[in-house]
Structure 1
Amino acid sequence: MHVLIAPDCFTGTLTAGQAADAMADGWLRGAPHDTVETVALSDGGPGFVEVLAASLPGRTHAVVVADPLGRPVPATVLVVGDTAYVESAQAAGLHLLAPEERDPTRTTTFGVGELVAAALDLGARRVVVGLGGSGTNDAGAGLLAALGVGTRQRLGIGGLALGAVTVDDLTGIDEARDRFRNVDLVIASDVESPLLGLKGASAVFAGQKGASEEQAQALEGALGHFAGVVARVRPPATDLLTRTAIRPEREPGAGAAGGLGYALHLLGGRRVPGIEAVLEAVGFDERVARADLVVTGEGSLDWQSLQGKVVVGVAEAAARRGVPVIAVPGRSELGRRDAMSAGLSGVYAVVERPAQSDAVLGDPVGTLAARVARVARTWSPPRT
């Protein structure tokens, strides 16, 4: 068989590339007669640029930007032709914060704006921003400040401060939009949430970033106030067909990365599913066309995985070619029916019982490879 191994990162333990290598090693141990091809993937979150740089003939440019608390942190811009790829998690990622520093009321996306500005300075005519894994909840106000809107002292100090923003704090917003007049700004995210409401950035994701319930409610109010002031400074356009207002806070993906999607929509961006952007960039359709089986995986296969993350994106892409897909995640919370509905022919979690967790964390490469080796013997038994 020709086996295509195409995992996401296993958050906190393995990068997508490391996971792909471990899975390939395991498969060849279990089925040495097979041909194995690997491609690391991302849905726009951590590892987005690294994954693309491994597959695309581009050049990476090193920059130094601000992290969520304003400290300098290294980052990269990948330039392929006239397209620049940037990863918001390199500047605003939750992994950049120690557990005691996780407070989305004060973390900022200013560094993401610096990354986007660097892409523009490199002459990009298309800028693809990967969203995911953020430790911020500031509606992208920090990004706007880095691109010339208002001041860093007002917009770049976290989401809670947005509750006091006035019209005077948003000078330069039209000039910022003009910088993208001839640039295709692409928002690559796995999240379709709006900015506000029960399915919005604060209600759904702020708690994962360290906010208490009271802080999440305060952030919801602050972001709502901010969006209202923005609408006064720059009234929403009208859809010519429906004659309804096009409100950036309601656009799909506006709530991604703590509302970073909202700011990018405000600048004229358009959203695409992050996994689709990556699959297209790495030529996944050509790869899957020559495969007999696809093996994918991620750290935790759960309800969020069904919302457009790598495993489901891979399954959908492979289904168009009639190629079966199996998943080997770190752990799985999906029932058999959900897995089948997602297009998976099988799910084989590394952690099958809670007691195995410590062993897996102690040797993530070895345990993943061993699990895949057992799966390979099932799916590709030796020739007789």
Structure 2
Amino acid sequence: MRVLIAPDAFGSTLGPMQAAAAMAEGWGTGAPHDEVRTLPLSDGGPGFLDVLESATGGTTVAVTVSDPLGREVPAAVLVVDDGRHRTVWIEASQATGLHLLGADERDPGVTSTWGVGQLLDAALAEGATRVVVGVGGGSTNDAGAGMLAALGAGPASVLARGGLALRDAPGDSLLGLPAVLDRLSGVELVLATDEETPLLGLSGTSAVEAPRKGASPGLAQTLEFALGHFADVLGRSLPSPPLDLLSGRPRRLDREPGAGASGGLGFALLALGARPVGAVTEVLRVTGFDVAAAGSDLVVTGTARLDWTALRGSVVSGVAEATMQTARPVVCIAGELLVGRRETMTMGLAGCYAVADQPHEVEAMVADPVATLEARTARVARTWSPGR
């Protein structure tokens, strides 16, 4: 049997490449007679660049950027030439990722997206005509203000101190924004994310995402006010606000789906003229997933946590939907499985298996994620492989 293993990252413990390797090893143990191919995938978060580098054969350019608290960390951009265009791929989580912070450092009131601006600077220095920014897995909640400051839109003393500092941002904080827009005028900017969160409101980034990053209810409310104030400042600073094609009126970027992605980083990218695309859809296209799935008898995907948020806009849901076109079965191996059979069948999954079902299994998974993932995959292989 021909098996395609196409997982996402397993949280901060295993990247997509590591997860795919562990699952392939486990499948080889459980069904050594099968032909196994790996195709790691990403939703725009950690591992985004590794997946694309493997698929495109592009050139990785090493850079040094600031992490969410201003410390220098290694990062990279991926440069791909197709003969007509030079595309530079960026993984925002290299500068903003939650994995860059210790548990006691997680405070979305002070973390900054400054490092993402440095990554954009690096992309422009490479002569990019198209820049794709993968957004996901961030620790910030500053509406992309830090990124804008790094690009020269305004003073770092106001914009790069985290979301809380934006409460006091004066109306002239973004005087340099027109110059930044001019600099980007010849570049196609793409926001790659599957998050549909708006910037503000009860379903906005401060209300929904900030608590996951360490914000108390009080801090989340204060960040909501701060980001609302900053959105007004940015709206007044745009030299030519984008217009709604139907009504002809100025668009409210803060209400756009994806504006709240990664603590509002999506909002700032949209303000710079970014075109939003689904990160999973883009990765599936670039990696040639459709062809790989059609040439397989079974597709096996995986993720750290399969819950209600993964029912759409995730690698698992994207793999399931794309594989439906090939009439191949898809099974999922998840670190934790928090939805029922009805939900997984609705997604198009023929089977779903948890690495950890019991509390002691969760402890084992955390202690040795590779071995536990291999072992679970081997058991799944014995269930699904027909043998010689």
Alignment TM class, shorter chain as reference: over 0.9
- After superposition, residues 84-99 of structure 1 pair within 5 angstroms as 84-99=88-103
User: SS at the partner of 1:315?
Assistant: helix
* Cα contact 2:44–2:91 (8 A) shared by 1: yes
* Cα contact 1:191–1:307 (8 A) shared by 2: no
Deviation of 1:166 (Å): 1.7
Deviation of 1:355 (Å): 2.4
TM-score, scaled relative to structure 2: 0.97
What does residue 243 of structure 2 align with?
238
What does residue 107 of structure 2 align with?
103
For residues 298 and 99 of structure 1, the distance between their equivalents in structure 2, rounded to whole angstroms, comes to 22
What does residue 384 of structure 2 align with?
379
Q: What amino acid does structure 2 have at the position aligned with 1:175?
A: A
For residues 321 and 35 of structure 2, the distance between their equivalents in structure 1, rounded to whole angstroms, comes to 23
* Residue 189 (1) aligns with residue 193 (2): yes
Deviation of 1:362 (Å): 1.9
* Residue 51 (1) aligns with residue 51 (2): yes
> CA-to-partner distance for each residue in 1:32-55, whole Å, 9 max, x for gaps?
121100011110001111111122
Deviation of 1:324 (Å): 1.2
* Cα contact 1:68–1:107 (8 A) shared by 2: yes
Identify the match of residue 303 of structure 2 among 298, 304, 320. 298
The unaligned stretches of length 5 or more in structure 1 are none
User: SS at the partner of 1:299?
Assistant: strand
Identify the match of residue 282 of structure 1 among 276, 287, 296. 287
What does residue 148 of structure 2 align with?
144
The unaligned stretches of length 5 or more in structure 2 are none
For residues 305 and 356 of structure 1, the distance between their equivalents in structure 2, rounded to whole angstroms, comes to 22
For residues 359 and 342 of structure 2, the distance between their equivalents in structure 1, rounded to whole angstroms, comes to 22
Deviation of 1:337 (Å): 0.6
For residues 341 and 175 of structure 1, the distance between their equivalents in structure 2, rounded to whole angstroms, comes to 48
Identify the match of residue 259 of structure 2 among 241, 254, 259. 254
User: SS at the partner of 1:40?
Assistant: coil
Q: Count residues with an aligned counterpart.
A: 383
* Cα contact 1:331–1:349 (8 A) shared by 2: yes
* Residue 364 (1) aligns with residue 364 (2): no
For residues 226 and 69 of structure 1, the distance between their equivalents in structure 2, rounded to whole angstroms, comes to 20
User: SS at the partner of 1:227?
Assistant: helix
* Cα contact 2:196–2:259 (8 A) shared by 1: yes
Q: Judging changes above 3 Å, is the alpha-carbon distance between structure 1 residues 51 and 240 closer, same or farther for their aligned structure 2 residues?
A: closer
* Cα contact 1:298–1:311 (8 A) shared by 2: yes
> CA-to-partner distance for each residue in 1:172-231, whole Å, 9 max, x for gaps?
111111222121111111201110011111000001111110000000000001101112
Q: Judging changes above 3 Å, is the alpha-carbon distance between structure 1 residues 56 and 313 closer, same or farther for their aligned structure 2 residues?
A: same
User: SS at the partner of 2:133?
Assistant: strand
Q: More deviation in 256-265 or 64-73?
A: 64-73
Q: What amino acid does structure 2 have at the position aligned with 1:302?
A: D
Q: What amino acid does structure 2 have at the position aligned with 1:49?
A: L
Deviation of 1:78 (Å): 0.5
Deviation of 1:73 (Å): 0.8
* Cα contact 1:296–1:328 (8 A) shared by 2: yes
TM-score, scaled relative to structure 1: 0.98
For residues 88 and 33 of structure 1, the distance between their equivalents in structure 2, rounded to whole angstroms, comes to 40
User: SS at the partner of 1:322?
Assistant: coil
